[in-house]
Structures are given as C-alpha cells and as structure tokens.
Structure 1
Amino acid sequence: MSWEDATMQITVLAVPGCPNAPVVRERIRAALDGRPADLDLVEVHDEAEAARLGMTGSPTVLLDGVDPFAAAGTAVPTVSCRLYRDMDGRVDGAPSVAALRQALAAEVDVLDPIGRGGRGRLAPVSGGLRAVQQAVLRHFAEAGAAPAPALLEPVSAPFGRRAGEVLAELAREDFVTLDEAGRIRAAYPFSARPTRHRVRIIGGPEVWSMCAIDALGVGAMLDTDVVVSSSDPMTDARVTITVHDGQSTWEPADAVVFVGRRACSGSAAAVCCDALNFFTGRASAAAWAIRHPDVTGRVVDQARAEELGRQTFGLLLSEG
C-alpha cells in the first residue's frame, strides 16, 4: 500500500438537525471528484462531546481527524452554529467547494520528504552509496550510536572513494544528515542525538529515532522485536508501542500518529521530522494541529502508521 492508496477518513461533526450538515456533505463529494474517501456524519449533542471529538461549531469537517479550517488560538469546543468565510470574504454556513478542494490537495504530498517524493529511502548501489548507508544503519543497530567516518573507510574503499565523500553524497540525497565536521547526525530512521522517540531493540541497544514513523520502522527494518517509547507533545503523556513476534500493542489503546510537514524545502529532518509524532488520541493530535498552522498534516490510525513505517524502512537492509 502506498501513501496515495490510503483512503482518507472525512468526518462531519454536527448537532442533530443542523441544516448545513447535508450541504457540507454534498460539497465534500463535489470536492472529492471521485477520489475515494470514507465520509461519515457524527451527531454531537453537548459541549463535552464537542470537546472530546474536536468540534468547534456545527458543522465541523475533520480530514483524518484534523480540522483544516481551524484558526490557531481561536477554535474552542462548541455546539453553536459555525460560519465559514470564503476566499472572497463571503460568509457561509459550510466551507465552499473550492476551500474543500484546497484542503484535500494539501493532504496529498505530506509524506513526500520522508519518502523522498516516492523514490524511497534505500540508497542506490552505485558509488558505494548503499554499502555505506547499510553499514551506518547496522552500526546504529549494534552500538546504539553513529559510526565515526573513519570506521567506514573499509566499506567505501572498494568503490575507490573516501568515506567522507560518500557520506556527503548521501547527505545531498537526504539519506543521512551531517554536522559541520562531517559527522553523522542522523541516518533515517536513526538519530545520533536525543529526540522524543526512543526505541529499545530487544537483544540490542536503545536508539533514538527521528520521528514517529521512523520509530515504527526500526523493528521492520531489523526484523526484530522492539519497544518504542515516546510522548504526546501536547500533554507529555507517555505513548508506548511494544512489538513482539510481529504483533503490536499500543498504550494507550487510542493512541494515533500525526504526520505533517512544514511549508519549506530541505531535508526530511528540517521539513517534517518534528511534525510526525505520537499522540494519546485524536483530540490531542487535532489540538496540536490547531496550535501549529504552519504544519500541513493528517492523523493516521495505528495500522496505517505501522504500514508507513514498514513501507518506508522495511527494505533498507535488504541485499542487492
């Protein structure tokens, strides 16, 4: 399954009898223009339910759990009627088809940086790139830290290149990131510096990972059991994922992952790694998204997050 294959979950939150609920559903279908999506209407009866579900007026539209029309710092839970302003300044009781199309389009390329625009995270064989990349990854997995460039000289030498030269090329192609001295700061999915995401490799060391998707990809890449420990950036509450014999257990059981990116160019580390996090639930993820209007993203459930980890990192240590 590719990122584009994942069916978007669209939820309309509305009070019973809201006259704009059928209007917004019709406009969503028009904006989708045949694109597959799961579209649900959820009735909300009181303020407590509105707070739990992330409703900030009736109707509220959630794209994979995130309200793309929420204004930072102003959205509060309510069952009152909600008004939307279109691009010409007109006020309406539902977002326009144009606004919905814009919000849907913003979701499509959110993982391009981490997946290198569909090119994947496995480096090419030529020039010793893959051999050095895999040597770096194996060193992280065995030692829990990045190798010094000098340790990679025996790997790059058969290709007639110095390790520093190969690492610099890997960095230009965003397979690794380097500091000013040419030392490895990150080799996706691993980080040489502390992050929010810690992965304990059963039978091996503990390592830091760059983001939530990276953390979920470590076990798949190494084909081993792991325990991922992270925290919700809204509440600092602990999120733990235990993977044993290919089966995962998430604590808390309602935990999700928010996958996002910033509106800039550069490496995945700069564009999206700090915007891919674990949350204790959809409400917490949606609240974080509202506080970070510079981040475009969506909430994914546990199964999708694990699949993205496997898809991105599962083959990085494959032969050939």
Structure 2
Amino acid sequence: MSAVNDTKHKSAMFLLTGIPGQEDIHLWISIPFCFIYVFSILGNSTILFVIKTDPSLHEPMYIFLSMLAVTDLGLSIATIPTILGIYLFNSREISLDACFAQLFFIHLFAFIESSILLLMAFDRFVAISNPLRYASILTLPRIAKMGLVCVLRGVAVSFPFPFLLKRFQYCRANVLSHSYCLHQDVMKLACSDITVNYIYGLFLTVFTVGLDSLLIFLSYVMILKTVLSVASHAESLRALNTCISHLCAVLLFYTPDIGLSLIHRLGKGSSPLLQIVLGYIYLLVPPLMNPVVYSVKSKHLRARIIRVFAKTLRWKNGSI
C-alpha cells in the first residue's frame, strides 16, 4: 500500500481498519453497530428530554447525569460514522485533516466524560456524607461552573493533539489499527521522533484518567467509611444502592480505557483483534449502557421515562 508522505499534501490519506479477515461479512457486522448507534442516540436523548421536561428531576444527581448523556451523544457522533462507513460502504480512507478533527473530538469527549464521572462521585459523597448541606453545597450555579471546568479542561488537554501530529511526515504504512482515529494510533505511523507526543500522551493519561480514577476511588473509600458508621443496616444498604449506577458507569468507562492505553504503550505483540475489540468497547459501550444502567437503577427516573413513552403511545393511538 502507498504510504502517506507529507502531512501538508491535501490528498494524503489514512486507511481505517475494520475487523481483519472478515471483509466478506462486513454488511452483517454493520447491523449491531447500526443498532448501537441508534440506541445510543435514542437512549441519551431520552434521558436529556425527561430530565429537562420534568422539574422534579432538576436535582444535582440528574443534572450530572444529563451532562454525562450530552457527552455520550458527542462520543457516539464523533466515533460511529466512520465505523459504519467501513462496514456499510467499505469507505476506509480518511484525510489527515478529517482524522485529526475526529481524534480531537474523541479525546475531548473522553476527557470530559472522565471529569463528569469524578463530579458524580463527588455528588454521591456529599449526598451520603453531608446530606443536610447537600442542596447548599451543590447549587445550580456551582454545578454550572463545575461543568464548565470539565469542558475547559477537556479542550485544553485535547487541543494540542492535532498540532502535535501535523508537524510529522508519515512515511510508513498508512493503515491505522482502529475504525476511527486516536492520537496514540496515528503517531505510530510517523517517521519522525515521537518522543514529545509519547510523553504528552502518557502525562495526560496519568493526569486525567489516572488522577480522576484515583479521586473516585478515594471518594468511595470515604463513602464506605461513612456508611459503615451508620447504625442502621437498612440505611447503609439504601445509601450504597444510590451508588451502584455510578459504579457501573465508572467500570464501563475506565476498564477498557486503561486496558487500551496499556496495549498501545506496552503490548507490542498483542493481537490486532484484541486492540480493535477493546477499542470498540471503550468508545461504544458506555454511551449505549449508561442510559440503561441509570434507568434500571433509578426508580424515579424509570417511572418518568415510562410515563413519557406511555404518553407518546396514547398520542399515537389517538391520532390513528
């Protein structure tokens, strides 16, 4: 295959990768990805609609959940179109500029999601450890400022990626190992010294994923300490039950994220199929499963969602 020789050459392309050796069944493989895309968009949009239209859900926990839903929507929209392009139309080529734009948005939304999961851990800590001051600590203006900080941090750490990659010449094989662009994947194709990119990527992994996951862990240590000090066993279980949804979201996001980071940096002999599958899990499963997890575990939210669907069905039946 021809190599990409110059990042400034407008016709230069990268080639995205589907599941190797399964080209004959790409159309069949596209079916679950189509379902994932549709259900991710519908699920997160439903969460946003229900929270926005129901005043009883205008509480800190649900506002943070709506932030998570917006982030998951962005992650799905930034990722899945190129995946579907490969499996539906065999469209593997992506220009350098489009690739750099995609990886910027993927990393941006991933960093924002990590920050929001940390805020949600803080929300659970305050709710359980200091319930009487919960409303006064997590006011709407303060939540808005916290959300803005999450976005600004995501932009600040993701913004250098395209510029760090644009300075390279790409004289090696131009085939990427995923169905979308990631910084750690693209930089391996450069024929220049990638030390700066490697160090910056490693620093960000530690500074964002590492720090956020550590703070989330410490939050739950303090939550557990508070819960164990409660005399009533029933109250302890009720308090811990409010954390289950968030813990599931944390595991869904950080487990494949950390695994993929380790494979890209340390797993030189790892299976390409393992990288591809783990990459799909990392970016596609959280946006799909977060609405399901929160809807199942939150009775209040589930009741509101059922009511919305019931109203929609009644309206459709009435219009017929």
TM-score by length of 2: 0.26
Normalized per residue, which structure has more helix? 2
Normalized per residue, which structure has more strand? 1
Which structure would you say has the larger RCO, counting Cα contacts within 8 Å and 6 or more residues apart? Answer: 2
TM-score by length of 1: 0.26
